[in-house]
């Protein structure tokens, strides 16, 4: 009788181990599928989003099923550039973005930008080194954000190369929307 109990205990242990291994494998498969198709981790590079994000910070991006709104932080791929920037969405399709030289601040559709910038009263660094066509439009007539386009800026504007340099970006360029900062 003791031999039968020992055999049953051994079978139970084996069954428990099999269930645990199956559960671990199932979780690993789900994590891999999620990372391949739904979310992706990324390391922040540079200081353009300081103090919100620091160089080396980790973020998790949603790759599907998200909507983009003003104030959201996205990562996008500029064609021909290997380093995907992380920026904040400031302008949506149809918005008119204007940079007021006198106030040294942006307006959206005539209203002051509810700003995330770390500094105000500055002339962004890249204005002086970039193609001035975007800057000229921003400071004279403003830029109207086109259909399927976004106007993006870094929070640390005095070092951020963003839409005030290269203009609006295509929504097709978006890699993902930041959903977690860790």
> Tens of pLDDT along 34-55?
778 899 999 999 999 998 999 9
pTM of this structure = 0.79
- Give the sheet arrangement for strand 39-43, strand by strand: 39-43, 58-62, 174-181, 73-76, 86-91, 149-153, 169-170
pLDDT at residue 111, as a whole number = 92
Q: Per the structure block, which two tokens stand in for 55?
A: 């160089």
CATH of 40-181, picked from 2.10.109.10, 3.20.20.70, 3.90.480.20, 2.40.50.140, is: 2.10.109.10
pLDDT at residue 18, as a whole number = 92
Cβ(41)–Cβ(58) under 8 Å?
A: yes
Query: What is the distance, to the nearest Å, from the Cα of residue 8 to the centroid of all Cα atoms in its chain?
Result: 54
Active site residues: 48, 87
Which residue ranges make up each domain of the chain?
1-37, 40-181
Q: Which residue blocks in 38-95 are alpha helix, DSSP H?
A: none
Partner residues linked to 170 by β-bridges: 149
pLDDT at residue 79, as a whole number = 86
Which residues of the chain are modeled with pLDDT < 50? 4, 121
Cβ(143)–Cβ(153) under 8 Å?
A: no
pLDDT at residue 119, as a whole number = 57
pLDDT at residue 91, as a whole number = 96
- Return the biggest CA–CA distance within the chain: 94
Burial of 12 from C-beta contacts in 10 A (0-12 / 13-18 / 19+)? exposed
77 Cβ neighbours under 8 A, 6+ residues apart: 84, 173, 175
How far apart (Å, rounded) are the C-alpha atoms in residues 99 and 127? 12
pLDDT at residue 82, as a whole number = 84
Q: What is the pLDDT of residues 134-146, one digit of tens each?
A: 878 888 899 999 9
How far apart (Å, rounded) are the C-alpha atoms in residues 123 and 146? 25
pLDDT at residue 136, as a whole number = 84
pLDDT at residue 123, as a whole number = 54
pLDDT at residue 128, as a whole number = 52
């Amino acid at each position: 009788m003791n031999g039968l109990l020992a055999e049953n205990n051994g079978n139970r242990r084996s069954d428990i181990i099999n269930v645990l291994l199956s559960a671990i494998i199932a979780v690993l498969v789900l994590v891999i599928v999620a990372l391949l198709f739904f979310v992706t981790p990324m390391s922040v590079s540079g200081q353009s989003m300081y103090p919100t994000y620091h160089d080396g910070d980790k973020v998790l991006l949603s790759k599907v099923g998200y909507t983009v709104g003003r104030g959201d932080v996205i990562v996008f791929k500029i064609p021909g550039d290997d380093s995907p920037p992380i920026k904040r969405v400031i302008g949506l399709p149809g918005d008119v973005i204007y940079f007021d030289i006198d106030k040294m601040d942006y307006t959206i559709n005539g209203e002051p930008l509810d700003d995330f910038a770390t500094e105000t009263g500055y002339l962004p660094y890249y204005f002086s080194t970039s193609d001035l066509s975007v800057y000229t439009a921003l400071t004279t007539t403003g830029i109207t954000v086109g259909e399927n386009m976004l106007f993006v800026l870094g929070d640390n504007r005095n070092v951020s190369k963003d839409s005030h340099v290269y203009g609006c970006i295509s929504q097709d360029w978006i890699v993902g929307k930041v959903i977690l900062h860790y």
